Amino acid sequence: MGINVAPNKILLLDRDGVINKKADENDYIKSWEAFDWIKDNVDGLIQLSEKGFQFIVLTNQAGVARGKMTRTDLEHIHQKMVEHLSSINVKVLDVFACMHNRHEGCDCRKPMPGLFMQAAKAYGFDLEKTLYIGDDPKDCKAACAAGSNSIFLGSPQRLDDLTLHEKPIKVANSIKEVLPFLETYFKQAKATNQSEKLF
């Protein structure tokens, strides 16, 4: 059973390309030894944690379905990732991973919104009042399909094929870059939430 988290205190994150460096194209991070942190983003998570934020990771991991690694391998990586982040006071509430291949037609592989729905149901938060940080256009599409806004880390040229509705509300190179924006965004979400309770 999940817990309720205040709308101004939860942030959704992609994994590869946001928390850790991506594997080579058409490959996967298959072991903890291959997991390489992205320092500026982890530093940003530390600063957000100091302000009371908590995090949920939503990640595609088709390497399991493709036989590149086992479910146990993936769970071990996530266990070690969460443990390390906890040791530096970054609280990851949960990791939701789609392990299906791209041709399986599931509703959880981004750009489908299934992982978002699973997380919102488990932890009782409003998808419209949080953000998803990703590094792939399909992350923005998935957030949009789930009713969330997104922040994109990377080159804005990669977003040319997105519709206006799918585009992120902010483009940056790192989480550290968007700290002031995030604080403002969630203060506004909190104020809106409090206003809604009055009526």
CATH code of the domain containing 21: 3.40.50.1000
pLDDT tens-digit map of 164-197: 999 999 999 999 999 999 999 988 876 665 545 4
Where in the sequence numbering do the catalytic residues fall? 14, 16
55 belongs to a structural domain: yes
Please, which residues have CB within 8 angstroms of residue 41's CB and are 6 or more apart in sequence?
A: 18, 19, 153, 174, 175, 176
- Percent share of the chain, pLDDT over 90: 85
- Domains of the chain: total: 1
Max distance between CA atoms of the chain, in angstroms, equals 53
pLDDT tens-digit map of 132-164: 999 999 999 999 999 999 999 999 999 999 999
- Model pLDDT, residue 190: 67
Q: Which of 23-27, 34-38, 60-64, 158-162 has the lowest mean pLDDT?
A: 23-27
Identify the domain containing residue 105 by its residue range: 7-197
Quickly state the pLDDT bin for 51 (edges 50, 70, 90): very high
The answer, yes or no, to whether residue 30 has pLDDT greater than 50, is yes
38 belongs to a structural domain: yes
1 belongs to a structural domain: no
pLDDT tens-digit map of 89-128: 999 999 999 999 988 889 999 999 999 999 999 999 999 9
Distance CA 22, CA 58 (A): 15
Of 8, 2, 5, 6, nearest in space to 189 by CA: 8
- Model pLDDT, residue 3: 44
pLDDT (average), residues 10-23: 97
The answer to whether residues 127 and 148 touch, using CB atoms and an 8 Å cutoff, is yes
Q: Which segments of the chain does DSSP mark as H helices, in order?
A: 39-50, 71-87, 114-123, 137-146, 179-197
Element (H or E) spanning 150, and its range? Answer: strand 149-153
59 belongs to a structural domain: yes
The answer, yes or no, to whether residue 27 has pLDDT greater than 50, is yes
Please, which residues have CB within 8 angstroms of residue 168's CB and are 6 or more apart in sequence?
A: 140, 143, 149, 150, 151, 152, 159
